[in-house]
Structure 1
Amino acid sequence: MTQPYQNVTVLGAGAWGTALAQVAAAAGRDVLIWAREDEVVQGINQAHENTLFLPGQKLNPAVRATADIAEAAKADLILAVPPAQHMRSVLRSARPHLQLGAPLVLCAKGVERGSLALMTDVLREELPEIGPAVLSGPGFAKDVARGLPTAITIASPDAALAQRIVATIGLPTFRPYFADDLIGAEIGGAVKNVIAIACGVAEGRKLGDGARAALITRGFAELTRLGLAMGAKAETLSGLCGLGDLVLTCASLTSRNTSLGAALGEGRALKDILAERRSVAEGMESAPAVVALAAKYKVEMPICQAVDAIVGERISIDDAITALLSRPFKAEGV
């Protein structure tokens, strides 16, 4: 039997990080979650609740919190869950304190703006001695924290490492499947957030279920084109961390990205929407980088381009919709 890691640290106490801490605790691990906010640390340690990012969900008392990254970094296994645009700074802060040989799992979905780096690229640049592993797939934090059935992907070129991570956090209701395709796992998670904003816009504009189905399907074509151009495997992109994650995120207003798009589609100003939110909508942050990657690899991604222009406030929603609907008719497989 594969020996699990016992001491698990979660770097990042947003909703998803908190949910993963809950999973690890339910699996019997000793769990420490690192948060920047003293309010979050106190709430988890005293009331067993993250009232800022996952309110209303009682946490396993085995989950402890700290604001000291030096303390947090001393673990057998680290789940890195900061927003994608902050992954580099968090890894850099943790680097001097990491246990020799301790693996790190990247759990953020996005592409770094400016550098166009995937999270595995960021890890390689900041911590080249650590072999990469990625956790991705369809799951909402509130459902995972409640113990509702969820399946995700653990991707790593090291099969033994992937299996040990699965043994550490796997539960009957939290089912990790392993894969060796890092690029597919990462591209699926990054692009689906951008497409979800488009689906939210369609919801807010009341364009109907057919429009959402078309956006999901053609969005999957965009995701696949970019992933294959970057070296991903088709079966990864059509699995949990690609198609599965896309369908979940685009089909529910529980998604921060879909709800952001819906608010925009209803005519609300972006600055007003963002002023009400603590959590990051990764699709908004990743959209410019995804579009830049599409240009770099010479693939067409018109939906992602439209989302980038909308959130960048370079085009109105009505003009973006008109532009998409005015594209030439062509064969579906193109």
Structure 2
Amino acid sequence: MNTTAQMPDASAAPGGDGPAKPRRDPAGTGRGTPRRPRSPQWAAWGFLAPVVAYLGLFYAYPLYRNIDLSLRDYTVRSFVQGGAPFTGLGNYRTVFRDPTFAPALEHTVVFTAVSLLFQYAAGLALAVFFSQHFRLSTTLRALFLVPWLLPLIVSASTWSWMLNSDSGIVNSTLGWAGIGPVNWLTSPSWSLASVIIANIWIGIPFNLVLLHSGLQAIPATLYEAAALDGANAWQRFWKVTFPLLRPVSAVTLLLGLVYTLKVFDIIWIMTKGGPSDSSTTFATWSYRLGFGTLLPQFGPGAAVGNILVVIALAFGLVYIRAQRKQMSS
């Protein structure tokens, strides 16, 4: 009888499931269990830390300071040394009662709405045009990006020269056509239209880029199927292109709204909000209250800026709500 066959194997597991794995002690501590790896959450927080620091330093803290400015009566001395008295909503009441509030609100709405409408329409038309992939389409599309790539001070200065009443190329062209000169920048009837035209020209390339990228994501088979069903070019655009482009269009309009609400450089360089506040918007009014006079009003200026933030935030929440509703349906 072989006694060795009846002896239990020392390497077998207690449950009889096979040989037990040898215990390692990589650290040399004498313990039988290996050290558990660290939680991956630390690595995630390590990657998030720079983003959180950036948002806190350049977004959260300036927003907090702007809210604090709007709730206190700051002067130049208290702005430097501190100690500004708390006034609550007093600065907001001052802004709402100011005679400039109603015209500035109207100009902001008109400037934003008209700019968005024409920028989106022109950008969509150009995106559809360049989606045909004809010869030199890439070169021409790159040239259309020039207004977007130029510094705003250069674009605004160029439009100021073009719309000059005496020596501008626009009035010279109108003179050749037998039309009298127009005071684009110095007339209350034309100043707002002038800055709107310049802003539309600057914003078209942005809409072109986003909408063109959205068009590239639409499968060509859908157009082929629509053509086989007898749909003409307009029907293919209205029934295929436009519905499938709605998500990209929503993002384009939302970003355009935020950018247009805070447009300051173009208006300030071309008209400074004048003449007689005829082209004043909330952005230029806020700057003029805070920095454009010898006796700055930091509190009311910050209050106007916060009104712009609330308007942009409201439209952003509407967009998020619409997106959630679309995803759930």
Please give the range of the TM-score, normalised by the shorter of the 2 chains: under 0.3
Q: Which has the higher strand share?
A: 1
Q: Which has the higher contact order (CA 8 A, sep 6+)?
A: 2
For normalisation by structure 1, the TM-score amounts to 0.24
Q: Compare the two structures and name the one with the higher helix fraction.
A: 2
